[in-house]
Amino acid sequence: MRCEDARLLVSALVDHELSDDEELAVSEHVELCPTCTRLAEDYRRMGQHIAGGYRQAPAGLTEKIRASVARERLASLPSRSYATMGRAAVLIFCMGLSALATWYATRNSQEEAFLEREILTAHVRSLVQDRPIQIASSDGHTVKPWFNGRIDFAPAVRDLTFAGFPLLGARVEIVDGRRVAALVYKRRDHIINVFMWPTAQAEVQGARHTNIRANIRGYNVLRWSAAGSTYWAVSDLNAGEMVDLQKLL
């Protein structure tokens, strides 16, 4: 075997990766050739040095791996393990759902009460200030554009003079930290504030479409949802006529 050819195979010889015939031929040459002998020796010694560069995993890595895998396992649980985990999953889901419902109901009623107070305050404030209106117009086509840039949605504005609820105008009100549209209607001498804003996604999913009617400190408060919006109407007008207004809106 020529030395140049053998030299290329010394690496594989050291690794015992040659076929029997090749191994015989190459090792015969190496025995006779000092250059190739040195090469084989160097390769073996280099291999030992490289092996000595082994880096052990840090002590905490196993736990980190287990944690990562556990997270992944949890994330994939519903889709992967119906066979054995199905029932447990359903059980856990039901428990979670019930806990969620309880939490939600508590939270909602609290939120509802909070909102109710805010609405009522906004209404009373508008009466006290004697300026319930920032834009005075009975024309929906004037009022609606006025809201552009003042609030981040376009409220439906309709004059209801034909039904005995003339539109006096509108203003922007802050309720629960967000800007909402306040439409001001009049019935005889009663001012009716109608607050409206787009219903939040969470509320839609929570199926909170129930109407609320309440009489607080002499004011009738009406709440409903329609066409993706939440409405609150407040007035000292009687409840029956408030409902009439609700139907018109």
Chain positions contacting another protein, by CB under 8 A: 8-12, 15, 17, 38-39, 41-43, 45-47, 49-58, 61-62, 64-66, 68-69, 71-73, 76, 80-81, 83-84
Minimum separation from the CB atom of position 51 to another protein (A): 5
Minimum separation from the CB atom of position 71 to another protein (A): 8
Using the structure block, give the residue that is written with the tokens 């840039």.
Answer: 149
Our CB check for another protein shows the closer of 16 and 188 to be 16
Q: How far apart are CA 186 and CA 164, in angstroms?
A: 8
Minimum separation from the CB atom of position 88 to another protein (A): 14
Our CB check for another protein shows the closer of 42 and 152 to be 42
Q: How far apart are CA 161 and CA 148, in angstroms?
A: 24
Tell me the one-letter amino acid at 211: N
Q: How far apart are CA 52 and CA 159, in angstroms?
A: 87
Our CB check for another protein shows the closer of 71 and 178 to be 71
**Phi and psi dihedrals of 234, rounded to 5?**
-130, 135
Minimum separation from the CB atom of position 85 to another protein (A): 9
Minimum separation from the CB atom of position 41 to another protein (A): 5
Our CB check for another protein shows the closer of 80 and 125 to be 80
Our CB check for another protein shows the closer of 82 and 114 to be 82
Q: How far apart are CA 202 and CA 187, in angstroms?
A: 34
Cβ proximity of 170 and 133 under 8 Å: yes
Strand ranges for the chain from DSSP E: 135-136, 167-175, 178-187, 190-198, 212-216, 219-226, 229-235
